[in-house]
Structure 1
């Protein structure tokens, strides 16, 4: 059986580059405006192509938004998850994961703003779970790192909790992601929101979560 990997043709590479250029333009506009208020015409103008070209690659705005979400998660995962090592105690591994999430909070405000708006977009247009399969796969790229740390922590007694690994994983990640989005997107709406600096708040939350399950 021939296992030789197919090399993309020049035409295929150009098509992929054009597709990514359109997605990059949508990412920029979603940051400057918002997902709901950005039109396909504006994406076309920003990416330097015609509207017909945008529709050739993305038949609807919903398709463009979903693929942008998938691209965003892939970009963030490739940038940050490669830093994680699985050679320490479970507690130390989990601590390093928290540090990486703190960096994402500090450096990826546009990404966090998009995630918050994407959730609203999905609800509004009743996008099915099936259409979000690849998007979900991107989110779950973090899961093996967290579950490995949790399992190792129970084994080496650096962590202690009585719920299941999955229950702890989803509770930790959902809590932190909600805090990241709140502080990144709506953290300075009221004067009282600015009483404690966002990075400091995030660090306090992670210390509380880690302290609560430290063995």
Structure 2
């Protein structure tokens, strides 16, 4: 059946907006993404070529393009996989008896401290995410294409929200806030500082060694606690 030019354009736009979905991959392609993730963690995205990933994964370059289309798609899949691994580490805390025995505010502090420690332990991951953000902004990647990736990044939001609601109930959180805004502002701030630490000092005042790499992240966590507990 013949397709009009208008129909072709519409179909192309729909295809471009299809979500980049890690869970839709075949097992063999998941293995390629795991190899790609290692390559992206070791080198800046701009320096990585599809031939580098193909060599690391033991597949042909033509096969790699046929399965993943672009380096950007492969980078998003890699980031989704890395966030999933990252978040699995937090599950150990959340499922522990010690965590479940805490009040709301203490749960939030424990969660934030876990992210702080993980960010500091995985500077190469922070660097990769920073580069990926710039790449996706430059390419104008649509929200629909990044829906699965975004869901993985935000997968712990409900646990944070539950901790906030518990704190409001048990009295440990005395100040009501617009929690979605509060959460995203804090998440963005922590991630941005961690990425700055990963990039390294630029000007003399970027003296991370003076107080320790965790000091600036701790300030943000303490500010969040003071805001929620109404302490100034």
TM surpasses 0.5: yes
Would you say 1:111 and 2:111 are equivalent positions?
no
CA distances 1:143-194 after superposition (whole Å, capped 9, x unpaired) = 01110111111111111333222222222222222222222x2233344322
Give the distance between the partners of 1:160 and 1:177, measured in 2 at CA. Answer: 26
Would you say 1:214 and 2:229 are equivalent positions?
yes
Counterparts of 1:110-149 in structure 2, within 5 Å, are: 110-149=124-163
Give the distance between the partners of 1:86 and 1:141, measured in 2 at CA. Answer: 19
Assess if the C-alpha contact under 8 Å between 2:103 and 2:170 holds in 1: yes
**Structure 1, unpaired ranges of 5+:** 1-14
Assess if the C-alpha contact under 8 Å between 1:180 and 1:202 holds in 2: yes
Aligned length: 199
Would you say 1:192 and 2:205 are equivalent positions?
yes
Partner of 1:193: helix, strand, or coil? coil
Give the distance between the partners of 1:94 and 1:174, measured in 2 at CA. Answer: 16
Q: Say which of 147, 166, 176 aligns to 1:152.
A: 166
Give the distance between the partners of 2:132 and 2:58, measured in 1 at CA. Answer: 24
Give the distance between the partners of 2:145 and 2:201, measured in 1 at CA. Answer: 34
Would you say 1:97 and 2:111 are equivalent positions?
yes
- Judged with a 3 Å threshold, the aligned counterparts in structure 2 of structure 1 residues 80 and 162 are, in CA distance, closer, same or farther, namely closer
- Comparing 103-112 with 82-91, greater Cα deviation is found at 82-91
Counterparts of 1:33-52 in structure 2, within 5 Å, are: 33-52=43-62
Partner of 2:39: 29
Partner of 1:94: helix, strand, or coil? helix
Would you say 1:79 and 2:79 are equivalent positions?
no
Partner of 1:7: none
**Structure 2, unpaired ranges of 5+:** 1-25
Would you say 1:168 and 2:153 are equivalent positions?
no
Assess if the C-alpha contact under 8 Å between 1:90 and 1:149 holds in 2: yes
Q: Say which of 196, 205, 215 aligns to 2:220.
A: 205
Assess if the C-alpha contact under 8 Å between 1:86 and 1:149 holds in 2: no
TM-score between both structures, scaled by the size of structure 2? 0.78
Assess if the C-alpha contact under 8 Å between 1:30 and 1:114 holds in 2: yes
Give the distance between the partners of 2:120 and 2:150, measured in 1 at CA. Answer: 23
